[in-house]
Chain A
Amino acid sequence: MYFDIFVIPFSAGFIFLFVFLIYTFSRWIHKLTPENKEKLKKSFFSKRFFVSVKEIFSECLLHRKIFKVNPLLGYMHMSLAFGWLLLIIGGNLETRLYSQNPINPPYYPIFFKFFDPVPGDFLFSGFFEFLMDLLLLFILSGVFLAYIKRFRSSMLGMKKTTKLKPFDKLALASLWVIFPFRLLAESFTSGAFHHGGFMTGSLGLFFASFLPVAKLYYPAWWAYSFALCGFFFALPFSRYMHIPTEALLIFMRNAGITQSKEENSFAEVEINACSRCGVCIDTCQFASAADISNVQTVYFIRDVRHHSLKAETANNCLMCGRCDQICPVGIDAKILRQSERTKFDYTGTNSLNYISVKNISKADVIYFAGCMTHLTPTIKISMEKILKASNEKYLFMDKDGSICCGRPTMLAGQMDAANQLIQKNKEIIQLSEAKVLVTSCPICYKVFTEEYKLDIEVLHHSQYLLQLLNNGKIEVERKEFKAIFHDPCELGRGMNIYNEPRVLINKITTLEHSNFDKENAMCCGGSIGNSVISDEKRNSITKNTLSKILTDQEQTLITACPLCKKTFGKYHHKTEDISQVIASALKKITVTR
């Protein structure tokens, strides 16, 4: 039996971590709703299991998505994660082949070189000697990049890197020294016994030439064991908890579990799966255009995890979803934020039942302009013009103003008030007996689709107008002009509608290419999802966005959201809504106003 007292710190850390993870994971799974538990169970016995395993391999180990952000950053994560795993597997295979014993204490492969500095010949011994050195070199290259990233993050394509908490610092410091200590310990041992692989062997000879390696190797093994111990003890309380949690998250997500309004542990798993890589900081327009760099998703999630979330951090976000798009872990921060906001809720007696639902006339199409559209009247005038031209029997639901759709209230975390508005609007929509609900505002469109649970078709006006065109209800003529399309956050990333507006505009003019379109679209800065940001900061975001998306000042900026139109209109007067473009290109107008 191989044993030395220095293995105790490592073993203690290892056992602690093992027990902690078993306890935490079972608690999370236990807290899932019964049907989610069923989903998770089923996913283990279907092909989803293999999908999850594949995803864990490509995301947790190879870090494919981080490679997409920056190859060097991806390499750093891959060398640490995949390299370490290979080192563990390699070490285990090596020691099992050597000792011919399938059951070894867990510390044995880790400290193999100490126990058997000159193992002699066994199956593939030369290969393993080479492989283990190569893997260590592979990891050390990642550690080296990590040093650089901490001090010169721009070299790895990151403008800003995350600020750390005490446990993160302990874990990070341990992680930084684990592999250098292993290198030293193995090299000193190799130097003392004149045996070792291409790296540790040569380094050992080099150190032996001027250092008393025979005295040094034992303390070096102690240091290595302590470094591992420090990392294992700090891991559950640091950001490195993401390493085990991400795997669980992938299983849960592939099982079809989503974050729901009723409490479930999925949110907790997501929060713990955040690696705080900081990719979301650079993509956030707050950091690049408004000089706000303490409220980004990474800090928001950190504060949720450490129960130190302030209302200001939760509310100071435009909810544009750019961070969700780039997140290597695939965390849906918008939903997390929305549910955290409800915890700061003012629970008053909201009395929003003041609208009367009498005298609702019957129609085939019910049109809801939305609050923001009432502030950009060209949109509702254009829509009315088109609706009249199409000869559809329509009802303008909020012609004389109406109550809000409920999404702004919801975004402010006031679910009770939002539900009152939803109920009231739903009543009106149902009374109209319409078959289609059309709205001009993507904010309304999102809530109508996701929360109202209507049994009729809900369409954004860009979809509806395309339908009208395709059905020949309206006709348009071509008017060539320079145009660029801006994807509104709520319509694009929010509802995955990218195509319809483009098809529609291309019927009238040829769209010019923008570098910031579709998933990569920028936010106009007008979002009602944020109740904290000041007007000046909003304006600087708007100006910054315009400077990036417009390649030519003569371009007409076409958008499909009244709020975007209003916001951009302040600085770029050629901003038009898609309905305006269609209305001005209408060929036949059968009914005049």
Chain B
Amino acid sequence: MDFGYSIQKDNQIDYDKSHREIAEYIRKEESSFNICMSCGSCTAICSAGIFTDFNPRKLYLLISRGDIRSIRKEIDHCMLCGKCQLACPRGINTRNIILQIRTSIKQNKDHVF
């Protein structure tokens, strides 16, 4: 019987298993990544988010945590339209973060994605 509840996957960060290469790369290339407060404004207005489960806020969180298994698939949904950049209350250069994530994936292409 389904009561509408489920057990969430454990979200602990295991530093032995996390891949922080991408996060470090982005921090270096686009320092405004550091000031994200995960408010979710970007996700609220995201055009790609209307049609897919593309979620910039989640993406940034996953990258910061080093959980990069799903980002390769996710990142390809972004259209670089720049709405998130205008919505961001912190003035984060979101378009460059997406481009840097892509560059970083390209550089680490032997990686587990």
Q: Is the CB of A402 within 8 A of B95?
A: no
Q: Is the CB of B93 within 8 A of A404?
A: no
Q: Is the CB of B79 within 8 A of A528?
A: no
Q: Is the CB of B106 within 8 A of A531?
A: no
- Which residue of chain A lies nearest to B49 when distances are taken between CB atoms in the complex? A401
B interface size (C-beta, 8 A): 29
Stretch at the interface among B7-15, B62-70, B96-104: B96-104
Determine the chain B residues whose CB is within 8 A of the CB of A406 once the complex forms.
Answer: 79
Q: Is the CB of A408 within 8 A of B79?
A: yes
Distance in angstroms from B47 CB to nearest chain A CB is 5
The answer to the question of B112 belonging to the interface, with a C-beta cut-off of 8 Å to chain A, is no
Q: Is the CB of B102 within 8 A of A348?
A: yes
Determine the chain B residues whose CB is within 8 A of the CB of A349 once the complex forms.
Answer: 76
Contacting residues of chain A (478-510) with chain B, CB-CB under 8 angstroms: none
What CA separation (Å) do A421 and B51 show in the bound complex? Answer: 14
CB < 8 Å neighbour of A374 from B48, B52, B79, B83: B83
The answer to the question of A532 belonging to the interface, with a C-beta cut-off of 8 Å to chain B, is yes
Residue among A375, A421, A526 with max Cβ neighbours from chain B (10 Å): A375
CB < 8 Å neighbour of A400 from B50, B85, B92: B50
The answer to the question of B75 belonging to the interface, with a C-beta cut-off of 8 Å to chain A, is yes
What CA separation (Å) do A535 and B77 show in the bound complex? Answer: 24
Residue among A352, A402, A563 with max Cβ neighbours from chain B (10 Å): A352
What CA separation (Å) do A408 and B94 show in the bound complex? Answer: 13
Q: Is the CB of B82 within 8 A of A371?
A: yes
Q: Is the CB of B80 within 8 A of A375?
A: no
CB < 8 Å neighbour of B83 from A348, A355, A372: A372
Q: How many of chain A's residues touch chain B, expressed as a range?
A: 35 or more
Determine the chain A residues whose CB is within 8 A of the CB of B75 once the complex forms.
Answer: 348
Contacting residues of chain A (344-374) with chain B, CB-CB under 8 angstroms: 346-352, 354-355, 371-372, 374
Residue among B72, B75, B81 with max Cβ neighbours from chain A (10 Å): B81
Q: Is the CB of A354 within 8 A of B77?
A: yes
Q: Is the CB of B79 within 8 A of A352?
A: yes
Q: Is the CB of A534 within 8 A of B76?
A: no
What CA separation (Å) do A588 and B69 show in the bound complex? Answer: 58
The answer to the question of A536 belonging to the interface, with a C-beta cut-off of 8 Å to chain B, is yes
- Which residue of chain B lies nearest to A535 when distances are taken between CB atoms in the complex? B91
The answer to the question of A417 belonging to the interface, with a C-beta cut-off of 8 Å to chain B, is yes
Q: Is the CB of A401 within 8 A of B50?
A: yes
Interface of chain B, main secondary structure: helix
Q: Is the CB of A412 within 8 A of B95?
A: yes
What CA separation (Å) do A536 and B105 show in the bound complex? Answer: 28
The answer to the question of B87 belonging to the interface, with a C-beta cut-off of 8 Å to chain A, is yes
Q: Is the CB of A536 within 8 A of B106?
A: no
Q: Is the CB of A346 within 8 A of B79?
A: no
Determine the chain A residues whose CB is within 8 A of the CB of B96 once the complex forms.
Answer: 531-532
What CA separation (Å) do A533 and B95 show in the bound complex? Answer: 11
Determine the chain B residues whose CB is within 8 A of the CB of A355 once the complex forms.
Answer: 51
The answer to the question of A322 belonging to the interface, with a C-beta cut-off of 8 Å to chain B, is no
The answer to the question of A72 belonging to the interface, with a C-beta cut-off of 8 Å to chain B, is no
Q: Is the CB of B99 within 8 A of A417?
A: no
Distance in angstroms from B75 CB to nearest chain A CB is 7
What CA separation (Å) do A346 and B83 show in the bound complex? Answer: 21
Determine the chain A residues whose CB is within 8 A of the CB of B85 once the complex forms.
Answer: 528
Determine the chain A residues whose CB is within 8 A of the CB of B86 once the complex forms.
Answer: 372, 375, 526, 563, 566
Contacting residues of chain B (35-74) with chain A, CB-CB under 8 angstroms: 45, 47-48, 50-52, 72
The answer to the question of B32 belonging to the interface, with a C-beta cut-off of 8 Å to chain A, is yes
Determine the chain B residues whose CB is within 8 A of the CB of A566 once the complex forms.
Answer: 86
Distance in angstroms from B95 CB to nearest chain A CB is 5
Q: Is the CB of A408 within 8 A of B82?
A: yes
The answer to the question of A556 belonging to the interface, with a C-beta cut-off of 8 Å to chain B, is no
CB < 8 Å neighbour of B45 from A352, A374, A400: A374
Distance in angstroms from A349 CB to nearest chain B CB is 6
Q: Is the CB of B76 within 8 A of A350?
A: yes
Determine the chain B residues whose CB is within 8 A of the CB of A347 once the complex forms.
Answer: 106
The answer to the question of A95 belonging to the interface, with a C-beta cut-off of 8 Å to chain B, is no
Determine the chain B residues whose CB is within 8 A of the CB of A351 once the complex forms.
Answer: 76-77
The answer to the question of A414 belonging to the interface, with a C-beta cut-off of 8 Å to chain B, is yes
The answer to the question of A403 belonging to the interface, with a C-beta cut-off of 8 Å to chain B, is yes
Q: Is the CB of B79 within 8 A of A421?
A: yes
Q: A526-564: contact bitstring with B at CB < 8 Å (1 yes, 0 no)?
A: 101001111110110000000000000000000000010
Q: Is the CB of A409 within 8 A of B83?
A: no
Determine the chain B residues whose CB is within 8 A of the CB of A403 once the complex forms.
Answer: 47-48, 51, 79
Distance in angstroms from A405 CB to nearest chain B CB is 8
Q: Is the CB of B76 within 8 A of A348?
A: yes
- Which residue of chain A lies nearest to B99 when distances are taken between CB atoms in the complex? A531
Determine the chain A residues whose CB is within 8 A of the CB of B87 once the complex forms.
Answer: 375
What CA separation (Å) do A355 and B103 show in the bound complex? Answer: 26
Determine the chain B residues whose CB is within 8 A of the CB of A412 once the complex forms.
Answer: 80, 95, 99
CB < 8 Å neighbour of A346 from B51, B82, B103: B103
Residue among B45, B51, B79, B105 with max Cβ neighbours from chain A (10 Å): B79
Determine the chain A residues whose CB is within 8 A of the CB of B32 once the complex forms.
Answer: 534-535
A-B contact pairs, 14 of them (CB 8 A): A346-B99, A346-B102, A348-B105, A354-B77, A372-B83, A403-B51, A404-B79, A404-B81, A409-B79, A412-B99, A526-B86, A534-B93, A535-B92, A535-B93
Contact surface of B with A, Cβ cutoff 8 Å: 32, 45, 47-48, 50-52, 72, 75-77, 79-83, 85-87, 91-93, 95-96, 99, 102-103, 105-106
Contacts A371-B47, A408-B82 known; list 15 others, CB within 8 Å.
A346-B99, A346-B103, A349-B76, A352-B79, A354-B48, A354-B51, A354-B77, A375-B86, A412-B80, A412-B99, A528-B81, A533-B93, A534-B93, A535-B32, A566-B86
Which 6 pairs between the two chains have the least Cβ-Cβ distance?
A: A535-B91, A346-B102, A404-B81, A404-B79, A371-B81, A528-B82
